[in-house]
Amino acid sequence: MSDSTKFLEVVKTGYTFKGESFKIGSAMLDGQVIPGADVLIPFKTLNRHGLIAGATGTGKTKTLQMLAEGLSDASVPVLLMDIKGDLSGIAAAGTLNDKITDRCQKISIEFKPTAYPVDLLTLSNQKGARLRATVSEFGPVLLSKILGLNDTQGGFVAMIFKYCDDHKLPLLDLKDFIKVLQFVSDEGKADIEKDYGKISTTSTGTILRKVIELQQQGADVFFGEKSFEVEDLMRINSEGKGMVSIVRVTDLQDRPKLFSTFMLQLLAELYATCPEEGDMDKPKLVMFIDEAHLIFQEANDALLQQIETIIKLIRSKGIGIYFCTQNPMDVPASVLAQLGLKVQHALRAFTAADRKVIKQTSENYPETDFYKTEDLITQLGTGEALVTILNEKGIPTPLVHCMIRPPQSRMDILTDAEIDNLVAKSKIAAKYNEVIDSKSAYEILTEKLEDAAKREAVTTEEKKTPAKKEKGFFDDPVVKSMTRTAGNSIVRTLLGVLGLGGRSRSRKSLF
């Protein structure tokens, strides 16, 4: 039996599944596509998460785009984190060219130019439906983790949330949280210490600095109303295709703290909102995170632990998460171990450090008699990748060198006019782009302090002004005049008796 025949049998056995599946390409051996060696992905295991890795220009983003299309065609909603701004083209039909024609012939598929249903979302002031969440929805535990607080400071944050709940002070945005921090450190200190315990000025100062640091990365645009509802990410259009929601976060590349904050809150909200589903025939939602290293770049240990926990548990909710990054080592080992699908595009070995990474990466894949993985990783062409997935029993499939199918949508971005048209037609943009400024902790405490200041000013003025006496009988001007005249007469009479009043008598001359 020749190597190609044996290889074909291995691929067919390893990539044949009972349930619904999607062809992502064809397996290759010795640089050639083997006819009939179809590489399929079963929808049933796509909630087991995955990794798409490779150097710049090797085709990672197009693989991500192709997977999103396959999911949408299967009525699975998709959420894309578009860091580089090059995923919007999925909303427009692709164009056939010689390269695409040649590739489709080699892997035996038909190319059908297709535009997919897309909603554009944003965390900032870019065009699209605004994503927001309130401080209250984060809760004290998650907020403390994001701010990187210790246990003492985290306990104080929990105290503030309890105080706000008890006193009907809604925490909607960071402005509210800062106002409460300032209030309990000054005017309200005695009040809160009476009911909740002592307050450390050092702790409040540290927390305030951490919040301001988060603000400097633009978090103010994320915290507030109207809160985004995760159900709007899980919609099917009238044609039965899963909606593709693209979060445009191109302006967050230099603000990893904000991106980590958003991602953790979104994952936590998805986990808290979605019910347990068990084993489903296909996922309820699949999320792709491009440039995934930005999530972990500024993450502290507590944040990493939270992400790892959610990744482990959220698959039972029918949600799959896929990380797309240049270097698989960008993803922490604890998270990497949870990823079932691995699509490894080419890596470049320019330095000794690069070769070490390639060696470590090759050891993460199943052993194979057909390839020398460590060498092949550096020789993969554009649009080719090493692929292994989990089968229906949770066992990794054989590692294959795969020629990936091209996306059927546009492999370029939308124009500004096309983006405007897409946002104008969006059913959710109008829902979330209305600016809401509800009466919350900031306004309530400001009014309270202003009222207290007014009362204090009135009290101070009363102390400065002497009290007025009521008018008596002798306060009457006529009576006063009569009294003064009578008094003068008496005085003159007395002085006269004493010889001191009246006209002075003439002195007698001594001569």
Of 432, 464, 498, which closes a domain? 432
Q: Record the pTM.
A: 0.80
| Whether 125 and 146 share a structural domain | no
> Do 337 and 398 lie in a common domain?
yes
Last residue of a domain, one of 222, 251, 281: 222
* Residue 489 falls inside a structural domain: no
Note whether 272 and 287 are same-domain residues.
Answer: yes
Q: Are 391 and 397 in contact (CB under 8 A)?
A: yes
The predicted structure's pLDDT at residue 495: 37
Domain count, the chain: 2
**Residues 244, 218 share a domain:** no
State the distance between the two ends of the chain, measured CA to CA, in whole angstroms. 172
In sequence order, what are the residues at sequence separation of 6 or more whose Cβ sits closer than 8 angstroms to the Cβ of residue 320? Answer: 46, 47, 48, 49, 50, 283, 285, 286, 287
Angle between helices 301-314 and 256-273 (to 10 degrees): 40
Q: Are residues 213 and 110 both part of a single domain?
A: no
Cα gap 228→98, rounded to integer Å: 43
DSSP 8-state code for residue 236: B
Residue 205: what residue type? Answer: G
178 in the same domain as 96:
no
**Residue 505 maps to a domain:** no
Domain limits at 59? 3-132+229-432
Q: Are 298 and 217 contained in the same domain? A: no
Identify each DSSP E strand in 218-318 by its residue range.
Answer: 244-248, 285-290
Residues 202 and 247 in one domain: no
Whether residues 367 and 401 fall in one domain: yes
In the listed set 222, 257, 280, which residue is the last one of a domain according to the structure?
A: 222
Structural domain includes residue 509: no
Domain co-membership, 202 together with 103: no
Give the C-alpha distances (Å, rounded to integers) separating 283 from 49, 171, 384.
11, 34, 26
Tokens for 471? 């008018």
Read off the tokens for 92: 């427009």
Tokens describing residue 343:
């699509």
**From CA 66, how far away is CA 71, in angstroms rounded?**
9
State whether 389 and 307 are in the same domain: yes
Binning the chain into helix, strand and coil, the percentages to the nearest 5 are 50, 15, 35
List C-alpha distances in Å: 17 to 30, 47, 107, 281, 365: 26, 16, 19, 12, 21
Q: Report the number of secondary-structure helices (H) and strands (E) in the chain.
A: 18, 12
452 within domain boundaries: no
Give the tokens for residue 75: 């009525």
User: For position 508, what pLDDT does the model report?
Assistant: 38
Q: Is residue 358 part of a domain?
A: yes
Minimal CA–CA distance to 318: which of 34, 60, 45? 45
- Answer yes or no: is 402 within a domain: yes
CB neighbour burial string for 378-397, b if at least 16 within 10 angstroms, e if fewer = eebeebbbbbbbbbeeeeeb
Q: Is residue 82 included in any domain, yes or no?
A: yes
CB 387 within 8 A of CB 395: no
Mind listing the pLDDT tens digit of every residue in the chain (511 residues)?
Answer: 568 899 999 999 999 998 899 999 999 999 999 999 999 999 999 999 999 999 988 999 999 999 999 999 999 999 999 888 889 999 999 999 999 999 999 999 999 999 999 999 988 778 888 888 888 888 898 888 888 888 889 988 998 899 888 888 889 889 999 998 888 888 878 878 888 778 777 888 899 999 998 888 778 888 888 888 889 999 999 999 999 999 988 776 667 777 777 787 888 888 888 899 877 899 999 999 888 887 777 666 766 787 888 888 898 999 999 999 988 888 888 888 889 999 999 998 888 888 888 888 888 888 898 999 999 999 999 999 999 998 888 889 999 999 999 999 999 999 999 999 999 988 888 888 776 666 677 778 777 777 766 766 666 666 565 555 555 544 555 444 444 444 444 433 433 443 444 443 343 333 3
Residue 190 lies in a domain: yes
> What does the pLDDT read at residue 193?
82
Between CA 39 and CA 26 the distance in angstroms is 5
Residue 73: CATH number of its domain: 3.40.50.300
Regarding whether 340 and 307 lie in a shared domain, the answer is yes
